[in-house]
Copies of this chain bind each other. A is one copy, B any other.
Amino acid sequence: MPKVGMEPLRKRALIDAAIRTIGERGSLDVTVAQIAQEAGVSAALAHHYFGGKEQLILATMRHLLNELGLDLLGALHGARTPAARIAAVIAVNFSAAQFAPQTIAAWLTFYVHAQQSEETRRLLRVYARRMHSNLAYALQQLTDRETALQIAEGTGAMIDGLYIRHALRNGAPEAANAIALVEDYVTTKLAAAKPSERSRDAL
């Protein structure tokens, strides 16, 4: 066989290029040619390896989701207490990798793409469910089930909202601010639900 084993390298290069291109442009209206050029190959090669634009986009999305999942796994690894797990879930969403302008722009375009693509919708739901599960599980060890689910819902919504707002802001609010706001929500809710015990230092 010839210059063998190019496929995984090219695929990865094209996915990385797709993230960069979509992020810079802030839109899914990127041409295969643009992505290919960014990756340093021809547009035809992108079609050769991915079969079509849609599949390249989906592969890119899966890659981002996977990265987020790995980040989450890593963050949860060292967290032993429920409070630490909650903090970890929040922090991951605003980590440098996830909060980079390009990454945010890419995510935003995927949210829109989900309106048209069932597969995209499914992938986003997987991510949302995973995040919710992690939060809800940890919270249930700190308060009653009903309250835990409510806080998990509110936390998820607030994270998504801060994300979208960050995408728009010119002089964006720091990740630290966003983290503090979400953690404050969790802390306050837990304290209110469980007025006794260690409520202030729940996180």
**How far does the alpha carbon of A100 sit from the alpha carbon of B169 in the complex, in Å?**
26
Q: Which of A167-200 contact B (CB under 8 A)?
A: 167-168, 170, 181, 184-185, 188-189, 191-192
> What residues of B have a CB within 8 angstroms of the CB of A153 in the complex?
181
Q: Which of B26, B125, B162 contacts A116 (CB 8 A)?
A: B26
Tell me whether A144 is interfacial, beta carbon within 8 Å: no
**How far does the alpha carbon of A157 sit from the alpha carbon of B154 in the complex, in Å?**
10
A115-150 CB contact bits vs B (8 Å, 1 = yes)?
110000100110010000000000000000000001
Q: Which of A71-87 contact B (CB under 8 A)?
A: none
> What residues of B have a CB within 8 angstroms of the CB of A124 in the complex?
168
> What residues of B have a CB within 8 angstroms of the CB of A116 in the complex?
25-27
Tell me whether A54 is interfacial, beta carbon within 8 Å: no
The minimal Cβ–Cβ distance linking A20 to chain B, given in whole angstroms, is 14
A164 touches B158 (CB 8 A): no
Q: Which of A33-73 contact B (CB under 8 A)?
A: none
Copies of this chain per assembly = 2
Tell me whether A13 is interfacial, beta carbon within 8 Å: no
> What residues of B have a CB within 8 angstroms of the CB of A184 in the complex?
150, 154
Q: Which of B112, B128, B168 contacts A165 (CB 8 A)?
A: B128
For this complex, 13 residue pairs linking A to B, each with C-beta atoms less than 8 Å apart, are A26-B112, A27-B115, A108-B111, A111-B164, A114-B168, A121-B170, A154-B181, A154-B184, A157-B158, A157-B165, A160-B164, A161-B161, A164-B164
> What residues of B have a CB within 8 angstroms of the CB of A168 in the complex?
111, 114, 121, 124-125, 128
Which residue of B has the minimal Cβ distance to A191?
A: B192
**How far does the alpha carbon of A156 sit from the alpha carbon of B181 in the complex, in Å?**
12
> What residues of B have a CB within 8 angstroms of the CB of A109 in the complex?
112
* 8 residue pairs, one from A and one from B, having the closest CB atoms: A26-B115, A161-B161, A157-B161, A160-B161, A157-B162, A158-B158, A188-B192, A112-B112
Max chain B C-beta neighbours (<10 A), residue from A109, A161, A188: A161
